[in-house]
Structure 1
Amino acid sequence: MSVNGSIFREYIGSKPDPEIDGFPEHIINKQITKFDFILGYATDEYVEKKGQGKFRANWDVRTFSVKSIEKLKAKYPNVKVVISIGGAHSDFAFNPQDKEIWTDMAKGSLKDILLKQYKSSECECTNKSAIDGIDIHYDYIQTTEDDFVHCIGKVVDYLKSHIDGLVVSISPSKPVLSHYERLYLANTHRFHLVNYQYYHEIVKSREAFENLHKNLIDTFTVQKVLAGFSTDQNFKDNIPLEVFLEACDHLLKTASLAGIFVSEAQDSIVYHPSDFYVEKKSQQLLTGSDD
């Protein structure tokens, strides 16, 4: 099977420094079929490191408001906005105090974010959010695979049944890959995209990158896997940018890559050799243009 790579996603909002004054519209390539901004993160409340299922928006809700989202999407029809659930820090590990209580609380608190805090102002219907999707993004998981599958599966199923048109993605990385594989295989029809964090691994050549990608699409399918690059300096030695871009270019030319994502905008502002360099180069690869 093959795929026409046409998706670009950008994480934004989880780091306060340097400040971002709204969505960086100048990085949006209008030739991209699907461009998603992913707000990070909707984070849980913890008591003695145990999650309670009480989620709140951890990004600046004044900067990334309903009004700003709807204005952005009206201007750029190819853009959608997604919220990411979980977190990239060990302080926000998946570790429910009680899996059934957590699941019930998570359903309610996430629904409130989507349908109260981000209720669409352009539609009178009760099930329409200004947010287009959710992204399951736990870099740390401290429970069994069975509990992860049970809790996340129930929450995703509930939100999809209560919110119109919700697109759902997962964001695995190597340390927790087995949890996400089990989650995906139990819910293949519920997950539209897989943002794999390639930057968590040491990948020094195009061949190594492509071998990793082949293993991933064997599980998650070629239509769903997006290749991820991080502009965070903590990951700079894992995958050289030239290797990432060369590998993505080759995978796109062989119809083996659905898209690319970058994490994240706050780091990309100060990325060398220029701000948002990776975002711009990645979209050029996806569109086959120099724009």
Structure 2
Amino acid sequence: MSSKIQVKPIFREYIIESDLLKGFPVEIISPRIPEFHFLLAFASEDYVEDPNTKKKVGKGNFRATWDVIKFDPQSIRILKSNYERVKVVISIGGRGSDFPFNPQDKEIWIDNAQKSLKSIITEQYKSPFETLIDGIDINYEHIESNDFAYCIGKVIDYLKTYISGLVVSIAPSHPVLSHYQNLFKANPDRVDWVNYQYYKEKVSTTLEFVNLHKTLIDTFTVQKLLAGFSTNPKDKDNISLEVFVEGSLQLISSASLSGIFVLDAQSSLYYEPAHYPEEKAQKVLTGSN
């Protein structure tokens, strides 16, 4: 568990559409971080109501819900031409029970998801010279179907096969951990990163944070497991920035942490100074804290 990490540290930032953000917040990119990912949240699917259960069921047809003007192909092209260490990823799913994973029909869902996501990546964000979208992030916080691992696994396999070099990450949290564990165990070589949402559960002390992370390594491996901090006000009572930073430093000292992600850029604008958690996390990762 404490063996030397074989990957360069990575930092990832979720971008949730907001009028406060004028575009990609490039000022938060540290020149010292080896790899920086912006995650556009979310590509959400269409839902209908099941007449029997009255619950929302998904069709698998994904569409962008971020600001397509601020984060259009031209903006991404300029961003990546100016910052060669930057990748842009689309995150699918959504926050909370309004965006459940609950397919109306699993085989139809798989087919629709494969086609719609491939269309976003290769058609809506196409470029004659380069791949503008570098990956997908699986980020369902509410899962009502036991077909999660099967359906998402099929989508990952399809996209990895037809889109060269695609990066895939998954974003588990405590309430749905078993679903993500099953998905990872079935696709260990096809999942590149694991964004664990520590801010979805009560983590009061540094010791709790460190012990939880080391437990999760047993499933997700030290090379792929990333630790997540949220600047969203509704997550503030679960883990403090102080506990997160101190715990991350301890994990790095034992070679047990490969990277950090923050949710989300718009909420971080309210820190003083703006985007302080992103700046602090990158310093922790690069040893310049």
Matched residue, 1:126: none
1:15, distance to aligned residue in structure 2 (A) = 3.9
Partner-residue secondary structure (3-state), 2:98: helix
Task: Give structure 1 stretches of 5+ with no counterpart.
Answer: 124-128
- State the distance in 2 between where 1:153 and 1:240 align: 34
Matched residue, 1:23: 24
1:128-148 CA-partner distances (Å, limit 9, x unpaired) = x3100000000000001xx11
1:197-245 CA-partner distances (Å, limit 9, x unpaired) = 0011111111100110011001000000100000011111111111100
Residues 51, 95 of structure 1: 8 Å contact kept = yes
Counterparts of 1:196-235 in structure 2 under 5 Å? 196-235=196-235
Counterparts of 1:248-263 in structure 2 under 5 Å? 248-263=248-263
Percent identity between the aligned chains? 57
Residue identity in the other structure for 1:209: F
Residues 17, 65 of structure 2: 8 Å contact kept = no
State yes or no: 1:45 paired with 2:46: yes
Residue identity in the other structure for 1:196: Y
State yes or no: 1:79 paired with 2:86: yes
Residues 2, 223 of structure 1: 8 Å contact kept = no
1:255, distance to aligned residue in structure 2 (A) = 0.9
Residues 172, 195 of structure 2: 8 Å contact kept = yes
Residue identity in the other structure for 1:138: Y
- State the distance in 2 between where 1:107 and 1:239 align: 36
Counterparts of 1:129-278 in structure 2 under 5 Å? 129-144=131-146, 147-271=147-271, 273-278=272-277
Partner-residue secondary structure (3-state), 2:245: helix
- State the distance in 1 between where 2:240 and 2:231 align: 11
Q: Give every structure 1 segment of 4 or more consecutive aligned residues whose post-TM-superposition deviation is greater than 3 Å.
A: none
- State the distance in 2 between where 1:40 and 1:64 align: 11
Residue identity in the other structure for 1:41: F
RMSD: 1.1
Q: What TM-score comes out, normalization by structure 2 length?
A: 0.95
Task: Give structure 2 stretches of 5+ with no counterpart.
Answer: 50-55
- State the distance in 1 between where 2:176 and 2:95 align: 12
Across the two proteins, how many residue pairs are aligned to each other?
A: 280
1:5, distance to aligned residue in structure 2 (A) = 5.7
Q: What TM-score comes out, normalization by structure 1 length?
A: 0.94
- State the distance in 2 between where 1:265 and 1:121 align: 29
Partner-residue secondary structure (3-state), 2:61: coil
1:43-78 CA-partner distances (Å, limit 9, x unpaired) = 000011110011000101111011111111111111
- State the distance in 1 between where 2:113 and 2:244 align: 36
1:127-178 CA-partner distances (Å, limit 9, x unpaired) = xx3100000000000001xx11111011111111111110000000000000
1:89, distance to aligned residue in structure 2 (A) = 2.5
Matched residue, 1:111: 118
